[in-house]
Copies of this chain bind each other. A is one copy, B any other.
Amino acid sequence: MADFLAAHTGLDPEDWAATRALGHRMLDDMIDWLADARARPVWRRMPDGKRAELRAPLPQDGVGLEAIYADFQRLVLPYGAANEHPRMMGWVNGGGNAAGILAELLTAVFNPNCAGRDHAGIEMERQVVAWAAEMVGMPAETSGVLLAGSSMANMVAVLVARRAALGAEVRTGGVGGVRLVAYASAAAHGCVPRALDMAGIGSDALRLVPADAAHRMEVGALRAAVAADQAAGLRPFLVVGTAGTVDCGAIDDLAGVAEVARAAGLWFHVDGAFGATAALSARYRPLLAGIERADSLAFDFHKWMQVPYDAGCVLVRDPAMHLATFAQDLAYLTYAERGMAGNPPWPRDLGPDLSREFRALKVWMTLLAYGADGLGRVVEHGCKVARHLAARVAREPALELLAPVTLNIVCFRVVALSDAANRELVADLQEAGIAAPSTTVIGGRLAIRAALFNHRTTEADADALVDGVLQLAAQRAVLR
């Protein structure tokens, strides 16, 4: 071994001591930063001068890690996306967690490519997929793969449904002139039409079925639309049920949707990006009844389950169809009976990626650290804060609730302000660092949208949002 040990170390330091010491300092700093989140403004705009400082030509020579870290602390860390902050309430963002953070440290060093081969990373991804199936009541033999997020997970599901409808020929011959039709609620997420766009079917192939006052797809209207399209000679192939609409968290009647899909012979996919996580709570699980009948399900671990970004998942009930959608025969990437190329099937045959980070570890450690019950309590806590916020909004004459609160999303507006002014008010709140809701449009009105996903958020944080809204709205009224 002497020859080897005397050899060059590549990019590795000859002595790890300095790197090790810096790593320990970073770890302490970052835990302090996380623990202090509440004391910071929720968001600060990155100053133009610091943006300019970040811009530089491709560096030719290396610089020391200490200097790089100093730049990170100065230029990057203060101007983040706020996901760690208890008063981050915009869009749909998980807050991260300590077990997931430590997992990412291990993952960065362990550093497998989880495209395939015979190693523990693949075994662990299978375990995590099995847990996901168990969480929603799908069969133990359900197939699945981890992806960046639900946008790609929905895309994979569309591709499997396309393969199921058109057979193996679609992979070689393309979609051609077949007029496929898919169905989803008018409240479905934009990644569903975009998946149809990317898959060559076209977003116009998606029928947006009307939603009722509770933002749930009208099952009768779905049934009628499918029947009309079949009668017109079109080729219905896919129904997407939504478990948690992005606007307000409504959950379609999944059992009813499943029944329509079964009767018409269509693929039943569920987009449960965040809503599927409600299955972790005994209280909210009944809202998802029917999800266990899904042919495929898309959801994220990095939203309500608080796993660090990114960790999405698609589940497919029929493992053979899943494999038939992606598997390829490539000379440089064959399976072997033994050695490192064993242990099929590999994730590369279950999705579009051939280079894949070891996402499973952060999911595994998060689920083990808190348990399904612990994460279920996070779900219930978010819903409780949402109910508190909705009740407060209802009590405030200046405010108006715009949508029913099914889970953890509250949409409201300042009655006296225009849509444009309500939108400005949200930017006011963010720039003041008070709270960070986002906006959407509900029934044609601009909504201030508070999504209670961060596990650190309290009822007091919800009150701080309302207090801030009222105070800044009053300032706007005075300034007018």
Given contacts A203-B172, A378-B11, A355 and B65 within 8 Å (CB-CB): no
Task: Please judge, given known A-B contacts A120-B54, A200-B174, whether A309 and B112 are in contact too, CB under 8 Å.
Answer: yes
Contact partners of A460 in chain B: CB under 8 A: 3-4, 7
Interface assignment of A244: CB less than 8 Å from any CB of chain B: no
In chain A, residues 55-106, which have Cβ atoms closer than 8 Å to a Cβ of chain B? Answer: 55-65, 68-69, 72, 75-77, 79-84, 86, 90-91, 93, 95-106
Closest to A169 in B: B202
Q: Are A38 and B5 in contact (CB under 8 A)?
A: yes
Count the copies.
2
- A288-302 residues with Cβ-Cβ distance < 8 A to B are 300, 302
Taking CB atoms and an 8 Å cut-off, the chain A residues in 137-190 that contact chain B are 148-152, 155, 159, 162, 170-177, 190
State A33–B111 Cα separation when bound (angstroms).
12
CB distance from A428 to the nearest CB of B (A): 8
Knowing A98-B13, A310-B356, A440-B332, say if A197 contacts B171 (CB, 8 Å): yes
Given contacts A12-B456, A148-B353, 20 further A-B pairs with CB under 8 A are A10-B455, A12-B97, A19-B98, A30-B106, A46-B119, A54-B123, A58-B131, A58-B134, A76-B124, A81-B121, A81-B340, A84-B110, A108-B308, A151-B355, A176-B176, A190-B328, A246-B332, A309-B355, A312-B355, A336-B426
Contact A355 B300 (CB under 8 A): yes
Q: Which of A214-222, A258-266, A365-373 contacts B (4 or more CB under 8 A)?
A: A365-373
Residues in chain B near residue A449, CB distance under 8 A: 332
CB of A338 within 8 Å of the partner chain: yes
Some 30 contacts from A to B, beta carbons below 8 A apart, are A8-B456, A8-B458, A11-B95, A46-B123, A54-B127, A57-B134, A60-B373, A61-B373, A62-B368, A64-B369, A72-B365, A75-B120, A76-B121, A81-B111, A82-B119, A83-B113, A91-B332, A103-B108, A113-B310, A159-B198, A174-B204, A175-B202, A176-B176, A190-B330, A190-B333, A194-B326, A310-B353, A331-B440, A331-B441, A340-B436
